[in-house]
Amino acid sequence: MIKVFVLGSRCNMRCKFCMSEEKDLKPEIVFDEISKMEGGMVVFAGGEPLLYDELKNYLEFAKKKGLKTKVHTNGVLLDSVDYLDLIDVLNLPLDGTKEIHNRMRGKGHFDVVMRAFELDKEFTITTVLTKINIGNIEDLARLINELSESVRILNWKIFKFKPKGRGRIYRDMFDIADDEFYNAVRIAREISNVKIYAVKDPDVMKTTVIKSC
């Protein structure tokens, strides 16, 4: 089984399309939920999970139980943590080729993500599809194909932007229609060598998501 823990919305970036709005998850809930698991994978998401001091303890606890571990990170703090060996899979954001990605996430961030792909890990990729990057989907799919020749990419999740969190304020800048989303996913699937999951609504996931209300 897979359990996704949304630790909270704290983040060291300020993406305008950010959909995160959860309060911090209580550590006792995380430990309790992990202790009930008998196999599978724990996923830590945010916000930016690497900002949470408890993350190292959660990962140690999960590894002692023999669970696979995955962390969703924007990559900025990866150089400064001393527990990378406890993480099996890293999920990194990639919203477009260099110029488009930096327009979405901020100047210089594309290079941060590319450096993170050099780590000896398995990876998954998340893209938030918006008005800004939808026209870049073909080039992004080709970029991910190129990356997959040297990097172990397990899958690529394409999320439709949803106006929640900070994204609610900037809705007009990012919002796309459902048919635009599905058409872009179809194009990506035609090009991509990597398994693609399309997520129209991030609040309706098949995996067990544990977050504050």
Say whether residue 13 binds ligand SF4 (CB under 6 A).
yes
| Nearer to ligand SF4 among residue 76 and residue 153 (C-beta) | 76
Site string for ligand SF4, 145-184 (x = CB under 6 A): ----------------------------------------
Say whether residue 11 binds ligand SF4 (CB under 6 A).
yes
The runs of H, that is alpha helices, within the chain are 27-35, 55-64, 98-105, 109-116, 137-148, 171-174, 178-191
β-pair type (208-210, 122-129): unpaired
Site string for ligand SF4, 51-90 (x = CB under 6 A): -----------------------x----------------
For residue 28 the two structure tokens come to: 């006792």
**Within 13 Å and on the Cβ side, how many CA atoms surround 16?**
15
Scanning 7-15, 30-38, 55-63, 197-205 for contacts with ligand SF4 by CB under 6 A, the matching segment is: 7-15
To ligand SF4, the closest distance from the beta carbon of 37 in angstroms equals 25
Site string for ligand SF4, 97-136 (x = CB under 6 A): ----------------------------------------
- The site that binds ligand SF4 (CB under 6 A) totals a number of residues, namely 10
- Residues, the chain: 213
Scanning 10-18, 138-146, 148-156, 181-189 for contacts with ligand SF4 by CB under 6 A, the matching segment is: 10-18
- Write a three-state SS string for 84-117: HHHCCEEEEECCCCHHHHHHHHCCCHHHHHHHHC
| Nearer to ligand SF4 among residue 21 and residue 138 (C-beta) | 21
Point out which residues bind ligand SF4 (CB under 6 A).
11, 13-15, 18, 20, 46-48, 74
